[in-house]
Protein backbone atom coordinates (compact mmCIF):
# COMPACT_ATOMS: atom_id res chain seq x y z
CA UNK A 1 0.00 0.00 0.00
CA UNK A 2 1.25 3.45 -0.85
CA UNK A 3 1.92 5.69 2.14
CA UNK A 4 0.79 8.81 0.33
CA UNK A 5 -2.09 10.36 -1.54
CA UNK A 6 -1.98 13.25 -3.97
CA UNK A 7 -4.42 16.05 -3.21
CA UNK A 8 -4.76 19.79 -3.55
CA UNK A 9 -2.23 21.35 -1.21
CA UNK A 10 -3.22 23.34 1.86
CA UNK A 11 0.09 25.19 1.71
CA UNK A 12 0.48 25.91 -1.97
CA UNK A 13 -3.02 26.94 -2.98
CA UNK A 14 -2.16 26.75 -6.65
CA UNK A 15 -0.61 23.34 -6.48
CA UNK A 16 -0.90 19.85 -5.18
CA UNK A 17 0.69 18.16 -2.23
CA UNK A 18 1.28 14.72 -0.79
CA UNK A 19 -0.74 13.52 2.16
CA UNK A 20 -0.30 10.61 4.54
CA UNK A 21 -2.58 7.75 3.50
CA UNK A 22 -2.23 6.19 6.98
CA UNK A 23 -0.54 6.87 10.32
CA UNK A 24 3.21 6.92 9.79
CA UNK A 25 5.94 6.46 12.38
CA UNK A 26 8.99 8.68 12.64
CA UNK A 27 11.84 7.27 10.57
CA UNK A 28 9.62 5.70 7.91
CA UNK A 29 10.74 6.01 4.32
CA UNK A 30 7.78 7.58 2.51
CA UNK A 31 8.68 7.81 -1.15
CA UNK A 32 11.67 7.91 -3.48
CA UNK A 33 12.66 11.22 -4.96
CA UNK A 34 13.20 10.26 -8.56
CA UNK A 35 14.67 12.15 -11.44
CA UNK A 36 17.49 12.20 -13.90
CA UNK A 37 21.13 12.04 -12.92
CA UNK A 38 23.02 14.81 -14.62
CA UNK A 39 26.55 16.06 -14.23
CA UNK A 40 27.30 19.18 -12.24
CA UNK A 41 28.85 20.50 -15.42
CA UNK A 42 25.48 20.21 -17.18
CA UNK A 43 23.88 22.19 -14.37
CA UNK A 44 26.40 24.96 -14.88
CA UNK A 45 26.06 25.01 -18.64
CA UNK A 46 22.37 24.45 -19.40
CA UNK A 47 19.79 27.25 -19.53
CA UNK A 48 17.27 24.99 -17.87
CA UNK A 49 19.20 25.26 -14.63
CA UNK A 50 19.84 28.95 -14.93
CA UNK A 51 18.12 29.74 -11.67
CA UNK A 52 19.53 30.80 -8.35
CA UNK A 53 17.02 28.63 -6.56
CA UNK A 54 17.30 25.14 -8.00
CA UNK A 55 14.15 23.86 -6.31
CA UNK A 56 14.37 20.36 -7.73
CA UNK A 57 18.12 19.94 -7.89
CA UNK A 58 20.09 17.91 -5.38
CA UNK A 59 23.85 17.83 -5.56
CA UNK A 60 24.73 14.17 -5.00
CA UNK A 61 28.50 14.44 -4.99
CA UNK A 62 31.33 16.27 -6.65
CA UNK A 63 30.30 15.01 -10.04
CA UNK A 64 26.54 14.40 -10.15
CA UNK A 65 23.27 16.17 -9.46
CA UNK A 66 19.76 14.74 -9.35
CA UNK A 67 17.24 16.76 -11.33
CA UNK A 68 13.75 15.96 -10.04
CA UNK A 69 11.91 18.45 -12.21
CA UNK A 70 9.72 15.88 -13.97
CA UNK A 71 5.99 15.29 -13.73
CA UNK A 72 6.61 11.64 -12.86
CA UNK A 73 8.59 12.60 -9.79
CA UNK A 74 5.67 12.43 -7.36
CA UNK A 75 7.90 13.41 -4.43
CA UNK A 76 8.45 16.75 -6.15
CA UNK A 77 4.92 17.68 -5.06
CA UNK A 78 5.96 17.85 -1.42
CA UNK A 79 5.80 21.42 -0.20
CA UNK A 80 8.16 23.37 2.02
CA UNK A 81 7.28 24.12 5.63
CA UNK A 82 9.16 26.01 8.32
CA UNK A 83 8.06 23.22 10.67
CA UNK A 84 8.42 20.16 8.43
CA UNK A 85 7.40 16.61 9.31
CA UNK A 86 9.75 14.98 6.77
CA UNK A 87 13.20 15.41 5.29
CA UNK A 88 15.25 14.52 2.23
CA UNK A 89 17.62 11.64 2.84
CA UNK A 90 20.14 10.21 0.48
CA UNK A 91 22.81 7.63 -0.10
CA UNK A 92 24.94 7.26 -3.19
CA UNK A 93 22.83 8.42 -6.11
CA UNK A 94 19.47 7.87 -4.39
CA UNK A 95 17.29 10.34 -2.56
CA UNK A 96 14.12 9.64 -0.66
CA UNK A 97 11.80 11.28 1.87
CA UNK A 98 11.82 10.15 5.49
CA UNK A 99 9.32 11.05 8.22
CA UNK A 100 11.05 12.99 11.01
CA UNK A 101 7.96 12.96 13.23
CA UNK A 102 5.04 10.65 13.75
CA UNK A 103 2.58 11.72 11.06
CA UNK A 104 -1.17 11.22 11.27
CA UNK A 105 -3.26 9.97 8.41
CA UNK A 106 -4.45 12.94 6.35
CA UNK A 107 -1.57 15.26 7.24
CA UNK A 108 0.30 16.89 4.40
CA UNK A 109 3.96 15.87 4.07
CA UNK A 110 6.37 18.80 4.27
CA UNK A 111 10.14 19.22 4.02
CA UNK A 112 12.59 22.06 4.54
CA UNK A 113 13.67 22.99 1.00
CA UNK A 114 16.99 24.15 2.36
CA UNK A 115 17.20 27.39 0.39
CA UNK A 116 19.97 29.68 1.48
CA UNK A 117 19.36 33.25 2.51
CA UNK A 118 20.29 35.68 -0.23
CA UNK A 119 19.12 38.89 -1.78
CA UNK A 120 16.22 37.36 -3.68
CA UNK A 121 14.66 35.39 -0.84
CA UNK A 122 11.53 37.55 -1.16
CA UNK A 123 10.74 35.79 -4.45
CA UNK A 124 9.77 32.72 -2.47
CA UNK A 125 7.15 33.56 0.15
CA UNK A 126 6.16 30.73 2.50
CA UNK A 127 2.55 30.06 3.36
CA UNK A 128 3.06 27.06 5.59
CA UNK A 129 1.23 28.70 8.52
CA UNK A 130 3.49 27.03 11.07
CA UNK A 131 3.87 28.99 14.30
CA UNK A 132 7.54 29.56 13.54
CA UNK A 133 6.98 30.52 9.88
CA UNK A 134 9.42 33.25 8.89
CA UNK A 135 7.35 34.20 5.84
CA UNK A 136 9.83 32.97 3.24
CA UNK A 137 11.24 29.69 2.03
CA UNK A 138 14.63 29.80 3.67
CA UNK A 139 16.43 26.94 5.38
CA UNK A 140 16.21 26.73 9.14
CA UNK A 141 19.82 27.69 9.84
CA UNK A 142 19.42 30.96 7.94
CA UNK A 143 15.99 32.09 9.17
CA UNK A 144 17.41 34.15 12.01
CA UNK A 145 18.55 36.61 9.37
CA UNK A 146 14.94 37.36 8.53
CA UNK A 147 13.90 37.08 12.14
CA UNK A 148 16.68 39.24 13.48
CA UNK A 149 14.48 42.17 14.44
CA UNK A 150 11.77 39.95 15.75
CA UNK A 151 14.18 37.87 17.80
CA UNK A 152 15.68 40.97 19.36
CA UNK A 153 12.35 42.49 20.37
CA UNK A 154 11.34 39.17 21.88
CA UNK A 155 14.49 39.06 23.96
CA UNK A 156 13.76 42.50 25.33
CA UNK A 157 10.33 41.41 26.35
CA UNK A 158 11.73 38.45 28.26
CA UNK A 159 14.08 40.72 30.16
CA UNK A 160 11.20 43.01 31.07
CA UNK A 161 9.12 40.13 32.32
CA UNK A 162 11.83 38.94 34.67
CA UNK A 163 12.13 42.33 36.34
* Residues in contact with Zn ion by the rule CB under 5 A: 82, 126, 128, 133
Nearer to Zn ion, 49 or 53 (CB): 53
Query: Considering the complex, what minimum distance in angstroms separates the CB of residue 47 from Zn ion?
Result: 30
Spatial distance between the Cα atoms of 32 and 115, rounded to a whole number of angstroms: 21
Q: Is 10 left (phi over 0), alpha (psi -120 to 50) or beta?
A: alpha
Nearer to Zn ion, 33 or 80 (CB): 80
Alpha carbon separation from 16 to 28, 94, 120 (Å, rounded): 22, 24, 25
Nearer to Zn ion, 18 or 82 (CB): 82
Query: Considering the complex, what minimum distance in angstroms separates the CB of residue 6 from Zn ion?
Result: 21
Alpha helix segments (H runs only) across the chain: 40-45, 144-162
Query: Considering the complex, what minimum distance in angstroms separates the CB of residue 128 from Zn ion?
Result: 3
Amino acid sequence: MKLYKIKKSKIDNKGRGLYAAKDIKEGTKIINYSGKIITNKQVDESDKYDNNKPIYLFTLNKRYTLDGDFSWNTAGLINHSCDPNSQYDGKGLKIWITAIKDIKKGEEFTCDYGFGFDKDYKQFPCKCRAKNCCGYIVREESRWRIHKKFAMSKKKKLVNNSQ
